[in-house]
């Protein structure tokens, strides 16, 4: 079983990479929320992709102009044309916009973060089980006598 330490290291590496990616994505969403401008947008149309996600074409009022932007939607959000949705956009580039609901901004990030935490918890649990399953050292054996 010489490959076990290699698999353990690989498992921890994947777990840490998932955590880092989730925290970077979460930080980006929080930063976008702090610098973004709020607006109400009207959905012009919505298209689904094969993977279940989609894109909505929205129109909203930015200071001094009417902007049309294409925003990403996640798998279960299906806006109808004419529906009004909350929107966040960058003031210096209004076409960079996101639908401002909790699910649209944080659901995928939280799913990835949850999987990463469970993955790492499983790795720690497996590692401690292997460690406690080993024979006790001489110092522990003498203490038990």
Q: What is the pLDDT of residue 95?
A: 87
Q: Which of 19-33, 101-115, 126-140 is least confident?
A: 126-140
Q: What is the pLDDT of residue 5?
A: 62
Residue 17, phi then psi, degrees to nearest 5: -65, -40
DSSP 67-95: EEEEEEE-TT--PPTT-EEEEEE-SS-TT
Summarize pLDDT for 22-80 with one digit per residue, the tens.
899 889 888 888 888 989 999 999 887 777 678 889 999 988 889 999 888 876 777 88
Q: At what angle do helices 102-132 and 4-35 cross, to 10 degrees?
A: 160
State pTM to two decimals: 0.66
Q: Which pair of structure tokens corresponds to residue 18? A: 């998932």
Across 77-106, average pLDDT: 87
Q: What is the pLDDT of residue 1?
A: 45
CA 72 to each of CA 5, 77, 97, 135, 141: distance values in angstroms, whole numbers, following the listed order = 41, 10, 9, 55, 62
Q: Which of 4-8, 30-34, 104-108, 124-128 is least confident?
A: 4-8
Summarize pLDDT for 107-125 with one digit per residue, the tens.
888 888 898 888 888 887 7
Distance CA 145, CA 143 (A): 6
Residue 15, phi then psi, degrees to nearest 5: -60, -45
Q: What is the pLDDT of residue 85?
A: 92
Q: Is the pLDDT of residue 141 over 60?
A: no
Q: What is the pLDDT of residue 87?
A: 92
Distance CA 95, CA 62 (A): 10
Q: What is the pLDDT of residue 59?
A: 94
Q: Which pair of structure tokens corresponds to residue 73? A: 């939607």
| Helix boundaries (H) for the chain | 4-35, 102-132, 138-144
């Amino acid at each position: 079983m010489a490959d076990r330490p290699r698999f353990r290291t690989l498992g921890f590496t994947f777990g840490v990479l998932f955590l880092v990616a989730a925290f970077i994505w979460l930080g980006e969403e929080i930063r976008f929320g702090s610098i973004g401008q709020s607006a109400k947008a009207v959905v012009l149309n919505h298209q689904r992709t094969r993977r279940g996600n989609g894109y909505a074409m929205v129109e909203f009022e930015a200071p001094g102009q009417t902007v049309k932007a294409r925003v990403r939607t996640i798998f279960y959000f299906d806006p109808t044309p004419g529906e009004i949705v909350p929107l966040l956009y960058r003031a210096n580039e209004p076409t960079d916009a996101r639908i401002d609901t909790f699910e649209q901004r944080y659901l995928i990030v939280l799913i990835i973060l949850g999987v990463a935490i469970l993955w790492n918890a499983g790795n720690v649990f497996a590692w401690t089980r292997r460690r406690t399953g080993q024979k006790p050292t001489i110092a522990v054996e003498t203490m038990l006598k």
